[in-house]
């Protein structure tokens, strides 16, 4: 999992550099395999605004742009990008700038017109995969500011290896929780308020009994404009997390998954046939996935289906038939909780390893679906408009996990750790992980939060106490004990070492 440090800093105060953050995570049990820069080295690139763009007198595909770069006088730039236009703020490589790959910018003359620099695309700055046009910056970008500072391009991303039992940390929220607990800093979660319904639009949803789905939250949003480009901040944040920008709606679903750890899927409502159902596949059913492959479904595979058949592998990948396109104007957001046992192994059976399957196989928070829908709704409506309907929730209560309620004994804590941990330290460490702690006579009654699937034994609580205190803080003791050696009859050792000797 790849997460930008700047994103983590928005959730928890981290007054240390990326290397120290990586060390903290590693000591907490989450190995950081790599620290990668947000952008390759370059210099001499500033935020600039095109104030005028006119056709080149001798070239149909070129424009002569007058550009305000924050200096006393505007500069003239010849640009071939189709999106170069008056009022656009972009990235200007000044004369003397050094771009990735060792490219140096000098004054040039193109078809008889001088150009004092170059307006840059994201590709030329090494920021993303090839695209069209020059970089489009936010309207509030400060003209003349160094681009690295304006876009926080000295940021770094952490590649974190998450163990199979800790699905709760496969998100910015999860890692921030751990860092806040270890450092004592406050966790600064964004306010996710309920979105008032602007229409009565809804969609019928069903969950088949005992299929491995415990909860599903949905919402209809009508009137979106998915032809708009994703804003630069969203596309760049996804890029730093290792995902490419696709479209505003899809980008929002990926953003929410990375942020909250809750996979979310959007369907083109115009392509759905009511009702939407979570069920096991029937014999002979097939599904064409978003990647274009046609697969045959086994009876133990959980699917999302509509009235016409399967529209997605539950918890793994959606189907092509109801996928979001640029012309989609009506959406159905769907966020569900699936039991890890209902998802585990199914993705690999079809040669798939997806972001969603990795999270569901490890376990996601059963209390998270409604919150994820609200967050995605707010972002989608802000970026592409739309009128949201009411939030709908459906659950199978007997399929939902129960939060572990355990007894932690002082005697057992001392026995397994080989040292005494102060009562106040035990309680503060567990509470920092959002656990409910009630002190008793020589023990504590502890309830784990809904997202900690890995807490099921007393030993798990003891591990948390040791982990949060730092394993290096546990004193080392030389082993001491008595060894009892007994006499053996002559020839016993030789017989034991001879494979051909008869057994006695």
CATH value at residue 333: 3.50.40.10
Q: How far, in Å, CA of 433 to CA of 456, rounded?
A: 15
* 30 lies in the same domain as 49: no
Domain containing 137 — which CATH number? Answer: 2.40.50.140
Predicted pLDDT of residue 502: 56
Residue 53 shares a structural domain with residue 92: yes
Predicted local distance difference test score (pLDDT) of residue 499: 56
Q: Copy the structure tokens of residue 479.
A: 């082993």
Report pLDDT for 487.
83
389 in the same domain as 258: yes
Nearest in space to 300 (alpha carbons), one of 351, 332, 341: 341
- Are residues 174 and 240 located together in one domain of the fold? no
- The 8-class DSSP code of residue 289 comes to B
Cβ-based neighbours of 472, under 8 Å, separated by 6 or more:
27
d(CA 308, CA 236): 38
What's the confidence (pLDDT) of residue 112? 94
The answer to whether residue 417 sits within a structural domain is yes
Of 378, 399, 420, which marks where a domain is finished? Answer: 399
> What CATH number does the domain containing 15 carry?
3.30.56.10
**For residues 447 and 405, what is the distance between their CA atoms, to the nearest angstrom?**
4
- Specify the number of domains making up the chain: 4
Structural domain ending residue among the three candidates 373, 399, 425: 399
- Mean pLDDT along residues 23-44: 95
Q: What is the percent of the chain with per-residue pLDDT over 90, rounded to a whole number? A: 87
Q: Is residue 200 part of a domain?
A: no
Q: Do the domain assignments include residue 189?
A: no
Report if residue 96 sits inside a domain.
yes
Separation CA 385–CA 331 (nearest Å) = 12
Same domain? 266 vs 300 = yes
- The answer to whether position 188 is within a domain reads no
Strands 43-56 and 59-68: antiparallel
Domain assignment of residue 24, given as a range: 2-38+155-183
Q: What is the pLDDT of residue 21?
A: 97
Let me know if residue 277 belongs to a domain.
yes
The rounded Cα 34 to chain-centroid distance in angstroms is 17
The answer on 372 and 268 residing in a single domain is yes
Query: In Å, how far are 22, 122, 143, 256, 423 from 158, measured between CA atoms?
Result: 7, 22, 31, 18, 35
Q: Which of 125-129, 165-169, 252-256, 359-363 has the lowest mean pLDDT?
A: 125-129
Q: Are residues 302 and 342 in contact, defined by beta-carbon separation less than 8 angstroms?
A: yes
369 and 280, same domain (yes or no): yes
Residues 409 and 464 in one domain: yes
Positive or negative: CA dihedral 428, 429, 432, 434: negative
Shared domain check, 303 and 212? yes
Phi, psi values for residue 235, rounded to 5°: -60, -40
Same domain as 413, residue 313: no
Say whether both 333 and 410 belong to one domain. Answer: no
Beta-carbon contacts of 34 under 8 Å, excluding residues fewer than 6 positions away, are 158, 159
Same domain for 241 and 135? no
Residue 359 resides in a domain: yes
232 vs 247: CA distance, rounded Å:
12
- CA proximity to 444, closest of 474, 405, 473, 471: 405
Could you tell me if 78 and 64 are in contact, meaning their C-beta atoms sit under 8 angstroms apart?
A: yes
Q: What is the pLDDT of residues 341-351, one digit of tens each?
A: 999 999 999 99
Residues 51-62 pLDDT 10s: 999 999 999 999
How many other β-carbons are positioned within 10 Å of the β-carbon of residue 248? 24
pLDDT at 201 over 70: yes
Q: Please tell me the least confidently modeled range out of 163-177, 224-238, 256-270.
A: 224-238
pLDDT over threshold 60, residue 495: no
Rounded to 5 degrees, φ, ψ at 159 are: -95, 110
Task: Please provide the DSSP assignment of 371-415 as one string.
Answer: HHHHHHHHHHHHHH--EE---EEEE-GGGSPPPPEEEEEHHHHHH
The answer to whether residues 276 and 334 touch, using CB atoms and an 8 Å cutoff, is yes
Phi, psi (rounded to 5 degrees) for 15? -80, 30
Q: Which of 377, 399, 421 is the last residue of a domain?
A: 399
Report yes or no on 357 lying in a domain: yes
């Amino acid at each position: 999992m790849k997460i930008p440090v700047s994103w983590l800093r928005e959730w928890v105060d981290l007054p240390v550099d990326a290397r120290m953050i990586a060390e903290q995570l590693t000591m907490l049990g989450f190995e950081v395999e790599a620290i990668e820069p947000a952008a390759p080295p370059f210099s001499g690139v500033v935020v600039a605004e095109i104030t005028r763009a006119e056709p080149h007198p001798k070239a149909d595909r070129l424009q002569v742009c007058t550009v305000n770069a924050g200096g006393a006088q505007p500069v003239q730039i010849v640009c071939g990008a189709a999106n170069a236009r008056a009022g656009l703020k972009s990235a200007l490589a000044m004369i003397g700038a050094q771009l990735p790959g060792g490219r140096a910018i000098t004054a040039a003359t193109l078809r008889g017109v001088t150009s004092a620099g170059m307006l840059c695309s994201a590709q030329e700055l090494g920021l993303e995969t090839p695209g069209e046009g020059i970089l489009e910056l936010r309207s509030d970008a400060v003209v003349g500011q160094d681009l690295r500072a304006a876009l926080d391009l000295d940021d770094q991303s952490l590649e974190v290896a998450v163990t199979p039992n800790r699905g709760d940390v496969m998100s910015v929220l999860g890692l921030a929780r751990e860092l806040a607990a270890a450092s004592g800093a406050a966790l600064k979660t964004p306010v996710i308020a309920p979105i008032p319904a602007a229409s009565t639009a809804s969609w019928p949803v069903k969950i088949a009994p005992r299929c491995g789905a415990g909860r599903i939250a949905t919402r209809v949003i009508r009137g979106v404009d998915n032809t708009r480009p994703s804003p630069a901040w969203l596309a760049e944040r996804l890029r730093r997390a290792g995902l490419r920008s696709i479209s505003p709606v899809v980008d929002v679903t990926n953003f929410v998954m990375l942020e909250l750890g809750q996979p979310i899927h959007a369907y083109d409502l115009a392509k759905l046939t009511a009702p939407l159902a979570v069920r096991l596949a029937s014999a002979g059913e097939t599904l064409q996935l978003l990647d274009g492959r046609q697969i045959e479904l086994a009876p133990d595979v959980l699917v999302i289906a509509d009235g016409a058949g399967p529209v997605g592998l539950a918890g793994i990948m959606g189907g092509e038939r109801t996928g979001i396109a640029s012309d989609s104007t009506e959406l159905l957001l769907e966020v569900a909780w699936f039991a890890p046992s209902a998802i585990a192994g199914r993705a690999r059976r079809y040669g798939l390893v997806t972001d969603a399957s990795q999270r569901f196989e490890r376990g996601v928070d059963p209390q998270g679906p409604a919150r994820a829908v609200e967050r995605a709704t707010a972002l989608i409506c802000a970026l592409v408009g739309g009128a949201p309907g009411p939030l709908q929730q459906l659950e199978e209560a007997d399929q939902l996990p129960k939060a572990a309620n355990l007894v932690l004994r002082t005697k057992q804590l001392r026995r397994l750790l080989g040292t005494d941990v102060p009562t106040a330290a035990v309680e503060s460490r567990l509470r920092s992980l959002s656990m409910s702690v009630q002190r008793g006579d020589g023990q504590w009654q502890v309830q784990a939060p809904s997202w900690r699937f890995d807490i099921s034994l007393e030993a798990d609580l003891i591990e948390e106490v040791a982990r949060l205190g730092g394993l290096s803080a546990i004193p080392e003791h030389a082993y001491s004990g008595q060894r009892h050696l007994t006499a053996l009859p002559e020839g016993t050792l030789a017989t034991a070492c001879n494979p051909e000797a008869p057994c006695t």
